Structure 1
Amino acid sequence: MIIRQALFDGQILTGREQEFRSFVEANLVPLWKQFPGVREVRVLFARERDEGAPSYPMVLSMAFDDEAALAAALEAPVRFESRGVTAQLLTMFEGRVHHHVFEVV
């Protein structure tokens, strides 16, 4: 199994935390669940972290059977649609988003 994660590295703008979360739940999760071949979509909202650790207020985790399924999802029209919606989300966020791909053993 392949896991692709998007780490939101930074901070949600002060006072917009609930708006950010609600936007993700209402607008993005339904799109992410439409990615072809996706087995699981998990959205993790940070609660606490070690002192001095970087801030990741949200992590998106998507599971796929294999690299071919991930590659197909990354080329799907719904992915490009979700990127446009994510651009709206990023108006509530200061930082950067980076992606990591993991293999589950």
Structure 2
Amino acid sequence: MIIRQALFEGRIQEGKEAAFKAYVADKLMPMWLEFPGIREVRVLYALERDEGAPAYPMVLSTMYDTQETLAEALASPVRYESREMTKGLLAMFDGVIHHHVFELGA
């Protein structure tokens, strides 16, 4: 299995935490669930971290069978629609997003 994660490094703007989470649930999650070949979508919200560690208030984790399936999902029209929709989320976020791809171990 292949896991692709988007790590939101930075901070959700003060007072916009509830709106941020609602935007993810109401606008983005339905789109992410439509990615072709997607097996799983998880949204993780940070509760705590080690002292001095970078802040990742949200991590988006998606699962695919193969790297080819992931490539198909990333080339799909719904992925580009979701990227456009993500602009509204980024208006409530100060930071950067890092994408990482992992192979699920045994």
TM-score by length of 1: 0.98
1:9, CA displacement in angstroms? 0.4
Q: Which residue of 2 aligns with 1:81?
A: 81
Q: Whole-Å Cα distance in 1 between the matches of residues 70 and 23 of structure 2?
A: 25
Query: Structure 2: any 5+ residue segments left out of the alignment?
Result: none
SS at match of 1:37: coil
| Number of corresponding residues | 105
Which amino acid in the other structure matches residue 63 of structure 1? Answer: M
Note the 1:17-96 alignment, pairs <5 A.
17-96=17-96
Q: Give a deviation string over 1:45-98, Cα, whole Å, max 9, x none.
A: 111111111000000000000001000000000000000110110000000001
- What SS does the aligned partner of 1:21 have? helix
Cα RMSD over matched residues?
A: 0.5
Aligned match of 1:100: 100
In the alignment, does 2:9 pair up with 1:9? yes
- Compute the TM-score of the two structures, normalised by the length of structure 2: 0.97
Cα deviation, 1:17-71, whole Å, max 9, x if unaligned, reads 1110011010001100000000000000111111111000000000000001000
Question: What secondary structure, in the 3-state scheme, does the structure 2 residue paired with 1:38 have?
Answer: coil
CA distance in 1 between counterparts of 2:34 and 2:9 reads: 25
- Counterpart amino acid of 1:36? P
Q: Percent identity?
A: 60
